[in-house]
């Protein structure tokens, strides 16, 4: 039986013919590293609109402290970086995608440098390389110590502004993708959007790219900006696209834990420079758990911290960074944040706790970003490409955004022709679309209370540790909330975000309940071992309760109808089922 969340196709009532109409070739929803790079790749041959939900400073890219993993030193090798990525991915990486992304890293870095990227340098003038969890070698490049993402966002935003073919719509909320039919498989024609100044608008597009980032705000404890409410995942799901590997959410081990204050990320690079974790008795505990100690993969460190907190009571452990030389100059942003709480890392132990950090799963795509819905693409944290498998290797995400952003932007140009990789003619719109939602029979509800309850339940039951019975309980909660929420028509982004969070949270819980094993960043207390029978990708589509568990075959070719516009993109994944 399908989930109650599958009954609603659109989140607001509308008639497309009564709304302002905007036309473009390629619509990119999201302005972080992946969306910006996709727009730049499409712009030489197309008109492009980039929707930005909030200011550039609040993209997940801008909040990225750690850096970008890229092979740039003679002591390193592509093979070593690939090996570390595959180990972190716990058997679910697509090795072809991994090799392609890692081998393209140096070229994408050179491109950013040519566009004005500022990197931290050694005394010899070479990029200063750091080391983070899961990496056996130092290969992380940084900018301004702990502001790499912000610097990459600056460069790409400046580049977007310099291209005449790209229009950027800031403070513009995408509500839903538009399809001429209500059933999965109907092609995407663009999106309905809301701007606080201009209201509702229809943006018709020949190709639409989801680059909306992750879902960190579904959990009570998160390192993500407030915009990370899973909007792109929910839109794609309602439009009929498959969400894949949704059980896999990476938790960052070290966010500053001050009760009542927002969780502030303390970069893994701090541990890479020698900081270590202490329990309440000021004993170091990670060396007894993993050979890499504090630089073990993030899921291992996060679980170790949770276990230590459970044993000792209290709400946190300690990060000892007192031995990190020149902390203030090495990590200026973190130093400023700590100063707000009268903490000095040179003299004080820092209270830390894990928090939801990165959505490893996402919209199922092939290596060129095609979803299983014609006209719809996805890239970056919103997509499940096979790069990360069951757990993301630290600092691979900025690299992914650059490499696959370029590939997806180029591939989307296929929709400007007369044929497409799906074997159907492009449908650019306009079309006469009508969404009707009957009045609710239930009383009004407190959206803030639903949202708070949702985040608390996700943290308790779909957090770092999961268990079958508790996942059943949280799914019952989701169904209860859905009966009183999904029949409502909200008129503000806060309400729409809550609907998106409920939809995606339910899929995440269903995926976690189905995956009765522990693998990567998914840990089941009642099934602590991995199982070979579950070495597959689970996919969830609107209208289906049972997951599609067919793995993507990296050896199969793409559809032979793929047009000239995207043949320069080297395919490494099979086309996905359109059934």
Can you spell out the DSSP letters for 121-173?
B-TTSSBPEE--TT-SS--EE-STTT-HHHHHHHHHHHHHHT-TTEEEEETEE
Model pLDDT, residue 421: 53
CATH 3.90.700.10 in the chain, residues?
A: 250-354
How many residues are present in the chain? 579
- What are the pLDDT digits (tens) for 117-138? 999 998 888 888 988 878 889 8
Across residues 101-115, what is the average pLDDT? 96
Q: What is the CA radius of gyration of the chain?
A: 22
Tell the CATH topology of 439-540. Methane Monooxygenase Hydroxylase; Chain G, domain 1 (1.20.58)
Model pLDDT, residue 315: 83
Inter-residue contact 43 to 405 (CB < 8 Å) = no
* pLDDT band per the 50, 70, 90 thresholds, residue 305: very high
Across residues 415-443, what is the average pLDDT? 68
pLDDT score of 531 more than 80 = yes
What DSSP assignment string belongs to 430-452?
Answer: ----EE--PPPSSPP--HHHHHH
Token digits of residue 238:
């309602």
Token digits of residue 7:
């009954």
Inter-residue contact 512 to 247 (CB < 8 Å) = yes
Token digits of residue 218:
């579904």
Across residues 550-563, what is the average pLDDT? 37
* pLDDT band per the 50, 70, 90 thresholds, residue 4: low
**Nearest CA among 63, 546, 503, 514 for reference residue 247:** 514
CATH 1.20.58.100 in the chain, residues?
A: 439-540
Q: Is the link from the previous residue into 500 a cis peptide, with omega within 30 of 0? A: no
9 classed as catalytic:
no
- Beta bridge partners, 145, equal none
Output the CA torsion sign for 334, 339, 343, 348.
positive
Q: Given the residues 298, 370, 513, 542, select the one marked as catalytic.
A: 298
Q: Which CATH class is domain 250-354?
A: alpha beta
Query: Measuring CA to CA, how many Å separate 131 from each of 143, 274, 361, 474?
Result: 14, 10, 25, 38
User: d(Cα 31, Cα 398) in Å, to the nearest integer?
Assistant: 13
**Nearest CA among 135, 137, 84 for reference residue 387:** 84
Question: How would you class 545 by CB atoms within 10 Å of its CB: exposed for 0-12, middle for 13-18, buried for 19 or more?
Answer: exposed
SS3 189: coil
- What are the pLDDT digits (tens) for 137-192? 989 999 988 888 899 999 999 999 999 999 999 999 999 999 998 777 789 999 99
């Amino acid at each position: 039986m399908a989930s109650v969340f599958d009954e609603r196709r659109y989140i607001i009532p509308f008639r497309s013919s009564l709304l302002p109409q905007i036309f473009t070739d390629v619509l990119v929803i999201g302005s972080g590293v992946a969306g910006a790079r996709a727009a730049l790749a499409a712009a030489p041959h197309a008109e492009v609109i980039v929707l930005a939900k909030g200011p550039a400073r609040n993209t997940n890219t801008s909040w990225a402290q750690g850096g970008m993993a890229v092979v740039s030193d003679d002591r390193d090798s592509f093979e070593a970086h690939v090996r570390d990525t595959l180990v972190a991915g716990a058997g679910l990486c697509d090795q072809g995608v991994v090799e392609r992304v890692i081998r393209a890293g140096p070229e994408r870095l050179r491109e950013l440098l040519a566009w004005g990227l500022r990197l931290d340098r050694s005394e010899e003038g070479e990029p200063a390389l750091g080391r983070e969890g899961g990496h056996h070698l130092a290969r992380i490049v940084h900018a301004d110590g702990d502001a790499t993402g912000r610097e990459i966002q600056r460069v790409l935003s400046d580049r977007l502004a310099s291209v005449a073919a790209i229009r950027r719509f800031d403070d513009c909320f995408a509500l839903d993708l538009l399809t001429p039919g209500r059933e999965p498989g109907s092609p995407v024609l663009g999106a309905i959007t809301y701007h606080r100044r201009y209201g509702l608008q229809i943006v018709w597009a020949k190709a639409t790219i989801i680059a909306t980032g992750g879902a960190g705000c579904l959990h009570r404890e998160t390192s993500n900006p407030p915009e990370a409410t899973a909007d792109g995942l929910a839109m794609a799901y309602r439009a009929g696209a498959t969400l894949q590997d949704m059980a896999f959410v990476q938790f960052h081990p070290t966010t500053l834990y001050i009760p009542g204050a927002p969780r502030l990320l303390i970069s893994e690079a701090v541990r890479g420079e020698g900081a270590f974790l202490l329990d309440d008795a000021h004993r170091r505990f990670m060396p007894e758990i993993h050979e890499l100690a504090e630089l073990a993969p993030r899921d291992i460190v996060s679980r170790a911290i949770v276990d230590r907190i459970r044993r000792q009571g209290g709400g946190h452990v300690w990060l000892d960074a007192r031995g990190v030389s020149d902390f203030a100059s090495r990590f200026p942003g973190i130093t400023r944040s700590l100063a707000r709480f009268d903490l000095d890392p040179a003299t004080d132990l820092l209270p830390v706790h894990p928090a939801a950090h990165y959505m490893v799963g996402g919209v199922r795509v092939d290596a060129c970003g095609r979803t299983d819905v014609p006209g719809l693409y996805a890239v970056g944290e919103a997509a499940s490409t096979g790069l990360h498998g069951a757990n993301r290797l630290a600092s691979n995400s900025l690299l992914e955004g650059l490499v696959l952003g370029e590939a997806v932007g180029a591939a989307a140009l296929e929709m400007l022709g007369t044929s497409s990789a799906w074997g159907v003619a492009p449908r650019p719109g306009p079309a006469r679309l009508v969404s009707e939602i009957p009045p609710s029979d239930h009383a009004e509800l407190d959206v803030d209370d639903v949202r708070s309850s949702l985040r608390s339940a996700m943290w308790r039951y779909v957090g770092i540790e999961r268990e079958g019975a508790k996942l059943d309980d949280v799914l019952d909660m989701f169904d209860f909330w859905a009966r009183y929420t999904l029949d409502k028509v909200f008129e503000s982004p806060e309400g729409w975000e809550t609907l998106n969070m409920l939809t995606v949270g339910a899929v995440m819980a269903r995926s976690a309940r189905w995956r009765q094993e522990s693998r990567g960043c998914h840990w089941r207390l009642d099934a602590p071992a991995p199982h070979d029978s579950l070495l597959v990708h689970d996919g969830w589509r609107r209208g289906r309760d049972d997951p599609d568990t067919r793995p993507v075959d990296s050896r199969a070719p793409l559809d032979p109808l793929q047009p000239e516009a995207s043949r320069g993109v080297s395919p490494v994944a099979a086309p996905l089922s359109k059934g």
